[in-house]
């Protein structure tokens, strides 16, 4: 066992409560397979490293997984984004028994909206230290609201990715 930590980004409103609610998967999963149930996620929450620390960190990834550009089309995008951010954090806390104040990072769906003043204001207001985003380029400069994340797929060979010393999300 590798015994290294992972972070899972959870779109809290899209997670089925039980196996029978798993189908059909949300449109945005686009053939990536079904989402885990809350019980399966709780099972992962119980995993520990050899030192007894949580093996997996769980962070909110919105409620509905709407990209920020979808929210911008609504009458009040800031309120919509605030609702996504606040409610996903609360749901994650209640489902997994995580102290709400210990949830420090948010995952922007698709990374869209990064760099927008509204996004930063809302995340600051909910006491986030930073945000992960999927869409970025190598030349992008990191900042606390532009932390790159990668999305491993079942076809990826994790041993190969980690052993060549050049781990990259691209």
Position 94 scores a pLDDT of: 96
> Burial code of 67-91, b = ≥16 C-beta within 10 A, e = fewer?
bbebbeeeeebbebbbbbbebbbeb
Query: Residue 60 pLDDT > 90, yes or no?
Result: yes
Diameter of the chain measured on Cα atoms: 50
Query: What is residue 121's DSSP assignment?
Result: H
The answer to the question of residue 169 being in a domain is: no
How many other CB atoms are there within 10 angstroms of residue 137's CB atom? Answer: 7
106: which strand partners? Answer: 131
- Global pTM? 0.78
Instruction: Count how many domains the chain has.
Output: 1
Query: What is residue 127's DSSP assignment?
Result: T
The answer to the question of residue 148 being in a domain is: yes
Q: Residues 106-158: pLDDT tens digits?
A: 998 865 555 578 888 999 999 999 988 776 566 666 677 777 666 655 555 55
Q: Chain-wide mean pLDDT for the chain? A: 78
The answer to the question of residue 1 being in a domain is: no
The answer to the question of residue 108 being in a domain is: yes
The answer to the question of residue 21 being in a domain is: yes
CATH code of the domain in which 73 resides: 3.20.20.370
The answer to the question of residue 20 being in a domain is: yes
Query: What is residue 29's DSSP assignment?
Result: G
Domain that holds residue 110: 6-163
Calculate the CA dihedral of residues 20, 21, 23, 27 and round it to 10 degrees: -170
pLDDT mean over 34-49? 88
């Amino acid at each position: 066992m590798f015994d290294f930590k992972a972070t899972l980004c959870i779109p809290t409103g899209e997670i089925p409560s039980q196996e029978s609610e798993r189908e059909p998967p949300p449109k945005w999963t686009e053939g990536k397979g079904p989402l885990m149930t809350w019980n399966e996620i709780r099972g992962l929450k119980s995993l520990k490293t050899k030192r007894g620390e949580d093996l997996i960190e769980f962070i909110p990834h919105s409620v509905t997984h709407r990209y920020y550009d979808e929210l911008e089309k609504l009458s009040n995008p800031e309120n919509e984004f605030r609702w996504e951010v606040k409610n996903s954090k609360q749901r994650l806390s209640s489902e997994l028994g995580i102290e709400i104040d210990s949830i420090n990072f948010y995952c922007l769906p698709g990374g869209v909206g990064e760099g927008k003043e509204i996004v930063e204001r809302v995340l600051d207001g909910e006491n986030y230290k930073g945000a992960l985003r999927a869409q970025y380029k190598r030349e992008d400069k990191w900042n606390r609201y532009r932390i790159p994340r990668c999305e491993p797929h079942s076809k990826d060979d994790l041993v190969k990715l980690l052993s060549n010393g050049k781990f990259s999300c691209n």
